[in-house]
Amino acid sequence: MDDPLRLAVIGTGVMGNAQLTALADGDDAVVVACADSDAAALARACGLHGVERAYADWRAMLDQETVDAICVCTPNALHAEMTIAALRQGLHVLVEKPMALSIADALEMAHAAREAGVHLVVGFQYRFDPRTEAIRRAIAAGALGRILHVRCQALRRRGLPNRPGALRGEITGGGPLIDIGVHVLELAHWLMGSPRPIAATAAMWTTIADRPMQALARWPDWDWRGCTVEDLAVGQVRFQDGATLAIETSYAAHIAEDVWNVQLFGSEGGATWDTATIHRDANATMWNEVCAHPGERPVFAAKLQHFIDVCRGRCANQAPPEHGVLIQAMLDGWYRSAALGREVRLDGVS
């Protein structure tokens, strides 16, 4: 039995706490230190999760602690700087989604991991969802034939994040597309076999997030005055192999109910992710085959365990920086396309 992996967490907000909770369940890793610039958040998290050493300055933590790996759970705009610093110190890194704010940063992060010879895992947890794994097995067995098109949706009727900075593009890199759309995108792209995107087109609007609350919402009092991001984005990507992917994502759309789903259209069959269903023809009949028991693995725990296993050399990295770069290329391309009002090429993604 190996000694527990020694971990440190930067950022003890919502995600930092979720990771600390997931890590507390296993004995494969131990969190020895946390860093956060917010003293109250840091003290609360360290107290709650029994972490012994707390740092207001994450660089001081990297200098003073002897750890194997770092979890980066800070706002998106800080991911690249913190990740690259830790990688250059020879530490493995789990960086939360989205990987970065730009393709240039994502490429630099991937390069830093390669140079240092350590692992960088991107926090794409939906590829560890049991439904994803069930559908991937069906795809591998040929149930869908050639995947032609995928539709991804991350749509909230009224779910505008109301924590400070959540609607400020300089901190987040954008609105629902980069924040929640990235989840269904990474899942869809993984199911497709991580093909190379070559062109993107998108349109985006802000019509609700930049106004005071008009109808009672679950998360009231969002920072509408400071909003600089989209609240609705739609886009399409073409891949090198001819397949396409469409995305619809919103914090606030006038729809009947929230949607969180991926649908795959294949030459021999289709799949619907949320219900783990395969659609196909057999015996002169159209069938919808619902998976009876995909499994019940919590995705946060699965993501953290995967990170530990990758650091230990027990398995290949299933959320490598190279995938993060392709996801970032699509996100960047969609933002660029919406700003320019035309399709853009996604060159230089290597």
Interface contacts to ligand NAD, rule CB under 6 A? 10-16, 35-38, 41, 58, 73-76, 78, 96-97, 123, 125, 163
Whether the CB-CB separation of 30 and 41 falls below 8 Å is answered with: no
Cβ proximity to ligand NAD: between 239 and 300 the closer is 300
User: Closest residue to ligand NAD, Cβ-based?
Assistant: 13
In the three-class reduction of DSSP (H, G, I as helix; E, B as strand; rest coil), residue 82 is classed as helix
Cβ proximity to ligand NAD: between 243 and 259 the closer is 259
Cβ proximity to ligand NAD: between 172 and 277 the closer is 172
What is the smallest separation between the CB atom of 145 and ligand NAD, expressed in angstroms? 32
Cβ proximity to ligand NAD: between 163 and 314 the closer is 163
Whether the CB-CB separation of 82 and 55 falls below 8 Å is answered with: no
Cβ proximity to ligand NAD: between 74 and 328 the closer is 74
What is the smallest separation between the CB atom of 254 and ligand NAD, expressed in angstroms? 25
Q: With the C-alpha atoms ordered 47, 48, 52, 56, is the resulting torsion angle positive or negative?
A: negative
Cβ proximity to ligand NAD: between 69 and 143 the closer is 69
Rounded to whole angstroms, how far apart are CA atoms 203 and 110? 29
In the three-class reduction of DSSP (H, G, I as helix; E, B as strand; rest coil), residue 242 is classed as coil
Whether the CB-CB separation of 173 and 317 falls below 8 Å is answered with: no
Rounded to whole angstroms, how far apart are CA atoms 94 and 98? 12
Q: What is the DSSP letter of 240?
A: T
What is the smallest separation between the CB atom of 288 and ligand NAD, expressed in angstroms? 29
What is the smallest separation between the CB atom of 138 and ligand NAD, expressed in angstroms? 25
Strands (E), the chain: 5-10, 29-35, 53-55, 69-72, 92-96, 120-123, 147-155, 197-205, 232-239, 244-250, 259-266, 269-272, 277-282, 285-290, 344-345
What is the smallest separation between the CB atom of 43 and ligand NAD, expressed in angstroms? 11
What is the smallest separation between the CB atom of 227 and ligand NAD, expressed in angstroms? 17
